[in-house]
Amino acid sequence: MDRIVDRVRRYRSDEESTSDAPLATDGGHRTGGLDLGPEFVQALPFWLPAGLLVALFVYGAIGWNFLVSLTDWSGLQASYWPLDFGMYTRFFERVFAQSGDHALSWLPAPLADLFGRLLTGPIEYWSFRNTIVLLIVFTVLTLIVGLLLAILIDQQIRFENTFRTIYLLPMSLSFVVTAVFWQWMYNPRYGIINSALETVGLDFFAVDWIGAAQFKLLAVIIALTWQFSGYGMVVYLAGLRAIPNDQFEAARVDGAGTIKMYLRVIIPQLRAATLSAAVVLMVFALKAFDFLYVIFGSRPGPGADILSVMMYRTAFDTSQFAYGAAIATILFVLALGVIMPYLYIQYQRGDL
């Protein structure tokens, strides 16, 4: 890792010294001013067409979406007047309106939900809450499972490729496809999960996984973890392989047990892998849409509604385009909150 960074640095400083432009460096990095030298002009045809497409469809669209979110546009005809933050205040008022006056409210919220607390209150509250729960629980679970798989695979096993291929297979499938499979897995009467639970006498746990409000989100998280842990494995495996062998050896010679060695020596070195995998998983969790839409349609209800589904429903089922756009902007800001620190760290390390 350090070697690569070093090489990049050297390459960069070469670049700067051979460039005939005046050097303006900022802590070792080149700054934003454009150098209109001959190479700039020659490079333009290569990146500009792609850049224009991205500028128009990605950034232009984000700006336009923000503009729409400031209007009161609902129904077919767009109207761009008056502009205000009404949609945002409406959203957050409802998010924080949850009073908590329910039976069982003395329990911590997740437990109370599990024991059948009525999921009442504005859907904004539940969407927001479920989005955050999905983001955290899904990311942590997927990282843990991915790390375990990577460590197992890294034990110089036979058929390593076959195992790896199987664990990564779900990643290559469409969410529409995996949603159809999991609908069958979770079927309360004929599905394999409840059949298995009943066979081993755990009838109590044979619940209606995707029908009962309090289990829906859990069911989604389990299925998505199944689909994404292969990604975690690939990232961690690359991280493990980058750790020099002598570190494993040294830890073994010291007489440390395997588990201790991993906890103390190896896992702390996987910080970079964890960071980049976590960012990708969190951003994914924010936009997870296809899977929920196929299982629950556009109305998952308070048990599993998330902002990305709510945005789609608000804008395209009920034609409240301004409100939908506001929810989209909130999602975008959440994603920015995840990726900006990450890109900044990458940039500082020279890894970009």
Tokens coding 57: 């469809």
Q: How many Å apart are CA 207 and CA 188, to the nearest integer?
A: 7
Given 118, 144, 176, 202, the residue binding other proteins (CB under 8 A): 176
- Report the nearest approach of other proteins to the CB of residue 46 (Å): 3
Q: Quick check: helix, strand or coil at residue 352?
A: coil
Touching other proteins, residues 308-327 (CB under 8 A) = 308, 311-312, 315-316, 321, 324-325, 327
Q: Does 68 bind other proteins (CB under 8 A)?
A: yes
CB of 153 to other proteins, least distance (A): 8
Q: Which stretch binds other proteins (CB under 8 A): 88-96, 210-218, 240-248, 286-294?
A: 286-294
Task: Please give the torsion angle defined by the CA atoms of residues 57, 63, 66 and 72, in that order, rounded to the nearest 10 degrees.
Answer: -80
Can residue 329 be called a binding residue for other proteins (CB under 8 A)?
Answer: yes
Computed over its alpha carbons, how large is the radius of gyration of the chain?
A: 25
Tokens of 53: 């497409």
Q: Is there binding between residue 283 and other proteins (CB under 8 A)?
A: yes
**44 lines the binding site for other proteins (CB under 8 A):** yes
Q: How far is CA 302 from CA 110, 127, 298, 306, 330, in A?
A: 13, 7, 12, 9, 19
| Residue from the set 6, 13, 49, 271 that interacts with other proteins by CB under 8 A | 49
Q: At CA 136, angle to CA 196 and CA 127, rounded to 5?
A: 90
Helix (H, G, I), strand (E, B) or coil at 83: coil
Which of 37, 116, 268, 341 touches other proteins by CB under 8 A?
Answer: 37
132, 137, 177, 243: which one contacts other proteins (CB under 8 A)?
Answer: 177
Answer for which of 47, 85, 115, 205 binds other proteins (CB under 8 A) is: 47
| Rounded Cα distance, 302 and 214, in Å | 9
Q: How far is the CB of 341 from other proteins (least distance, A)?
A: 12
- Does position 195 interact with other proteins (CB under 8 A)? The reply is yes
DSSP state of 84: -
Q: Using the rule CB under 8 A, give the single segment among 98-106, 136-144, 206-214, 279-287 that binds other proteins.
A: 279-287
Q: Which of residues 107-166 bind other proteins (CB under 8 A)?
A: 149, 152-153, 155, 157, 161, 163-166
The token duo for 168 is 């990564």
224-263 positions binding other proteins, by CB under 8 A: 226, 230-231, 234-235, 238
Q: Per 3-state DSSP, what percentage of the chain is helix, strand, and coil (rounded to 5)?
A: 70, 0, 30
Residue 317 to residue 112: CA distance in whole angstroms: 32
Q: What's the half-sphere exposure (Cβ side, CA atoms, 13 Å) at 156?
A: 1
Subset of residues 198 to 227 that bind other proteins, contact rule: CB under 8 A: 226
Asked if 53 is part of the footprint of other proteins (rule: CB under 8 A), the reply reads yes
Residue type, 168: L
Among residue numbers 290 through 309, which ones bind other proteins (CB under 8 A)? Answer: 290, 293-294, 297, 307-308
